[in-house]
Amino acid sequence: MTMKFAERMELFAASDIQEILKVTARPEIISFGGGLPAPELFPVEKMKEVSCKVLEENGTKALQYFTTEGLPSLREKIAERSNERLGTSLEMENVVIVTGSQQALDLAGKIFLNEGDVVLCESPTYVGAIDALKAYQPRFVEVETDDNGMVVEDLEKKINEEKNVKLIYVTPDFQNPTGVTWSEERRRSFMEVVNQHSIPVLEDNPYGELRFEGTTPPALKSFDNKGNVIMLGSFSKVLCPGMRVAWISGDKDLLMKFVFVKQACDIHTSSKSQYEIDTFLEMFDLDEHIAELVKVYGQRKDVMLKAMEEFFPSSVEFTNPEGGLFTWAVMPEGIDAREVVMRAIEKKVAFVPGDAFYPNGGHPNTMRLNYSNMPSEKIREGIKILGEVLAEFIPESMPAK
């Protein structure tokens, strides 16, 4: 008897992007592929102290089942940090702990999307969001996006054109994959449109505290007067991704929907991980740790961009992010990044082709490059090799896009 699967499983065939990322795990590969923090900056010794303290003082609680909403003292700390840094007005009850932001995206799909519903997103957008939401079989509609963020005029046009817009997904701070940060003016204009409708907005902000220069703009949530914005945050990029502790913040009544579906999913996020992060925040200075990350990642970004200026063909354009983990490169029309990356892997360098970040395909001449994970000397070496590979595909006389 042949085993029969749900039709949605056809959406989850192995992708060539995943195969590329598997290659990047090989130690000889200089990888600009994944969005990985620098492992040498993980606070291992401090986490040893934290773990011992948690088990000594709250061992039976940390190892027991827990409430779905999460540890109250941790939720309170998250709300306070958000209010201080992003201009929000959150209380503990506005925060629910989840198992990584990826779970938050999946829960949002369960709550809001039926087959055929429309998700509006930036163009390009985070491939993990595409993967999480596509199980619910929506139709992704890309909204024009420029160096200041989602173009509001095109957003209004798409809202008016599409009959069943159920969700808007955006990453306004150091966007994945482009590294672009929305201007405050664009944020205000976006929220003026959103506040005229009852369309929920997922504001994903995993990188916002990793700012190298400039000032932090207020969150979209700070302009939300209708309860439409659901903000996602995470400790993965600023502390330890392996602990899988993230959060959803938003209107209390709306958050209960997330609590209901999370109960059916995994009951609660790791009690021990929540206690450990909460204790870390009490024992140590998270801002001091983030400042160390910012210093290192900022230096690595500068090394990468300087090397790209030196070794890439002049017709390749790329972004200069004010923070985050990625830069985005655009090659001349007619160049296929998938062909480039296969040649680069032969020379032990890897990156992610950019077409994966467009839910409706196209734009094969783009690539995402991560600068947080590799040390500076490896970044320069890898970019030099990649520049040599690009030269094989791009005649120096070829015009830019």
Residue 345 CA to residue 235 CA, distance in Å, equals: 31
Residue type present at position 319: T
> Per-residue confidence of the chain (401 residues) as pLDDT tens digits?
588 888 888 777 666 566 666 777 788 999 999 889 999 999 999 999 999 999 999 999 999 999 999 999 999 999 999 999 999 999 999 999 999 999 999 999 999 999 999 999 999 999 999 999 999 999 999 999 999 999 999 999 999 999 899 999 999 999 999 999 999 999 999 999 999 988 999 999 999 999 999 999 999 999 998 999 999 999 999 999 999 999 999 999 999 999 999 999 999 999 999 999 999 999 999 999 999 999 999 999 999 999 999 999 999 999 999 999 999 999 999 999 999 999 999 999 999 999 999 999 999 999 999 999 999 999 999 999 999 999 999 987 555 54
Kindly list the distances between the CA atom of residue 237 and the CA atoms of 57, 181, 269, 396, in Å, as whole numbers in the listed order. 27, 17, 18, 37
* Backbone φ and ψ of 191, nearest 5°: -70, -30
Please name which of 78, 91, 93, 89 lies closest in space to residue 225, comparing C-alpha atoms. Answer: 89
* 312 and 259 within one domain: no
pLDDT of residue 264: 95
Specify if 401 maps to a domain. Answer: no
> Count of domains in the chain?
2
* 252 and 162 within one domain: yes
Last residue of a domain, one of 283, 308, 340: 283
Specify if 2 maps to a domain. Answer: no
Specify if 398 maps to a domain. Answer: no
Residue 275 CA to residue 62 CA, distance in Å, equals: 6
Last residue of a domain, one of 245, 261, 283: 283
* 33 and 88 within one domain: no
Please name which of 60, 368, 48 lies closest in space to residue 240, comparing C-alpha atoms. Answer: 48
* 275 and 151 within one domain: yes
Specify if 76 maps to a domain. Answer: yes
* 147 and 76 within one domain: yes
* 314 and 253 within one domain: no
What residues make up the domain containing 21?
7-43+288-393
Residue 294 CA to residue 353 CA, distance in Å, equals: 26
* DSSP 8-state code for residue 195: T
Residue type present at position 371: Y
* 198 and 143 within one domain: yes
Chain segment 96-110, per-residue pLDDT in tens = 999 999 999 999 999
Q: What is the CATH number of the domain that holds 295?
A: 3.90.1150.10
Q: What is the CATH number of the domain that holds 67?
A: 3.40.640.10
Specify if 224 maps to a domain. Answer: yes
Residue 333 CA to residue 212 CA, distance in Å, equals: 32
Judge whether 286 and 177 are in contact, CB under 8 Å.
Answer: no
* 57 and 176 within one domain: yes
Residue 296 CA to residue 368 CA, distance in Å, equals: 20
Last residue of a domain, one of 283, 318, 353: 283
* 50 and 39 within one domain: no
Q: How far is CA 29 from the centre of its chain?
A: 23
Residue 192 CA to residue 228 CA, distance in Å, equals: 12
* 382 and 248 within one domain: no
* 366 and 268 within one domain: no
pLDDT of residue 2: 81
Judge whether 123 and 143 are in contact, CB under 8 Å.
Answer: yes
Specify if 1 maps to a domain. Answer: no
Specify if 180 maps to a domain. Answer: yes
Q: SS3 helix, strand, coil % of the chain, rounded to 5?
A: 50, 15, 40
* 212 and 108 within one domain: yes
Specify if 399 maps to a domain. Answer: no
